[in-house]
Amino acid sequence: MKLPFHSIRWRLQLWHALISLSLIVAVCLLAYRMAAEERQRQIDRSLFGFERFFFRQLFLEAAERKDDSPPKSAELRSALLALRDADPLPARFRGVFDAGEPYLGFWDSDGTLLFLSPNAPPGLRKPTFAPDDDLELVTSGHLRELHHRHGPGIALAVGRDMGDELAALGRFRLFLALGGGGLLLAALAGGWWLAGRALKPIDAISHTANRIAAGNLDERIAIAESDSELDQLARILNDTFGRLADAVERQKRFTADASHELRTPLTIILSETQRGLKREREPADYQQLLSHCQTAAQRMRGLVDSLLILAREDQPDDRCTRVPCDLAEIANRLADRMEPLAAGHGTLIHRKLQPAPIDGDPELLDTLVQNLLSNALSHPPPGTAVTIRTGVRDDRVELEVHDAGPGIPPEHLPKIFDRFYRIDRARTQGSGHSGLGLAIVRSIADSSGGTIEVESSPGQGTRFRVRFPRSRNGERGQNRTL
């Protein structure tokens, strides 16, 4: 059973959720801290402002206060005691100490209370200071206080209740929590939708691959008109599926053609042996029957050998070791070997062989040259001239086999290297050719790092040209032009 978080979509969603949650929490904490610090700064400014306001009101009627210099301790102590003993408070202080307004208290150096505002909270005590500290701001529960030392001994505490501000911050916290939660849900929904949309091509790829694996090789991935990484992957996979379908189709044709090619000699062998077993025959009749069976068996052996060569060349890990050799020497040796066949067709093999150093498998190169010469000698009409050339051009070794025959019709040129492809099936069927010669030539050329091309024009003959990398151990003299 597939667990949810084994899915790429779930894992993307998990990472997206973690990142979104971290960002939202960080933003909410930052917003709350900034709001709390700003409210505290406002309260602190109000405490300093209230302290200044109180001193202005306290000395408002003192004629001797002509400047803004701090009051002396004795003067301040006398004014505070007068205010403490006043009943009622002077008119300028009415409403100043109402509930909800800042409160204050003054103490002498010996702890004597000099003045305490009517709205001060119960239990308000004289503040203590560090030796070198005359001013500090403290928070005690829901109270915020400014502690200030005036002169050598008078201590001041100005404070206010922060209940309203704390309640407002509580509501702000709730708003941030609800808003952050809603934003997180929206981010999760959007992330789930985006992940699904981003991974939709992968689902399409997976479903298409499953259908292809089930045997529907014509299926292809639908590609959007974009250039995203997944669309590029889809194009690559479509190309791969196309090549796979072509390979399977070629394999089916190859299997069918191979079965057909093997069926004919097998049928001959079976029919001849059955005919020979029906009754007693003369030795000459048995000899004729065995000769027919031998011919059919030789054809089967040639076909099997060709199939083995192709099978070996189709395996990239089963390549023969390359050794330095001269393609001209191989071509000359093959031309000598093919002279009897050429003579039987009334044909001469013209040799224009120049040194052609190459790193390759001599046995496979021998097969390549033999198949090209056999093809040039067998298919054109008798008496057609055949030329074989070797040499080096542009630091590439070249082999050319040219016949001056009638040429190959243009519609056949793209297919002549296909396995079991024959231009004239009726003519080549009885000639012993299996239709694998040129396929073997191309396979050997590919495995040796070379290329093959064909040029043919009606009435001007056919030219096969194979190019190989030049041997690293060969001479680096001047290139010879073919």
What is the arithmetic mean of pLDDT over 178-206? 85
pLDDT band for 479, please (50, 70, 90 cuts): very low
What pLDDT is attached to residue 168? 93
Which CATH number, 3.30.565.10, 3.60.9.10, 3.40.50.880, 3.30.70.141, labels domain 323-469?
Answer: 3.30.565.10
Band of the pLDDT at 429, cuts 50, 70, 90? very low
What is each CA distance from 358 to 120, 247, 317, 361, 363, in whole angstroms? 108, 31, 21, 9, 13
Q: Say what the pLDDT of residue 481 is.
A: 41
Q: What is the DSSP string of 235-287?
A: HHHHHHHHHHHHHHHHHHHHHHHHHHHHHHHHHHHHHHHHHHHSS---HHHHH
Of 416 and 419, more confident: 416
**Does the pLDDT at position 477 exceed 80?**
no
Indicate if the pLDDT at residue 65 is higher than 50: no
Under 8 Å between Cβ of 418 and 436: no
Cα–Cα dist 1/214, whole Å: 22
Band (pLDDT 50/70/90 cuts) for residue 71 is low
**What CA–CA distance (Å, rounded) separates 217 from 254?**
17
**Assigned fold of 229-313:** Helix Hairpins (1.10.287)
pLDDT of residue 478: 40
pLDDT tens digits, residue range 35-62?
999 999 999 999 999 999 998 888 875 5
pLDDT band at residue 67 using 50, 70 and 90 as cut-offs: low
Q: Which fold has domain 66-161?
A: Beta-Lactamase (3.30.450)
Over residues 328-351, the mean pLDDT reads 87
Domain extent listing, the chain? 1-58+163-216, 66-161, 229-313, 323-469
Beta strands 451-457 and 386-393, pairing class: unpaired
The overall pTM is greater than 0.85: no
pLDDT (mean) for 142-147: 92
Give mean pLDDT, residues 384-397.
Answer: 89
Mean pLDDT value of segment 205-213: 80
Q: What percent of the chain has pLDDT over 70?
A: 84
**Percentage of the chain modeled with pLDDT above 90:** 26
Q: Does this chain's domain 66-161 share its CATH topology with 323-469?
A: no
Please tell me the predicted confidence (pLDDT) of residue 222.
Answer: 75
Q: What is the overall mean pLDDT for the chain? A: 81
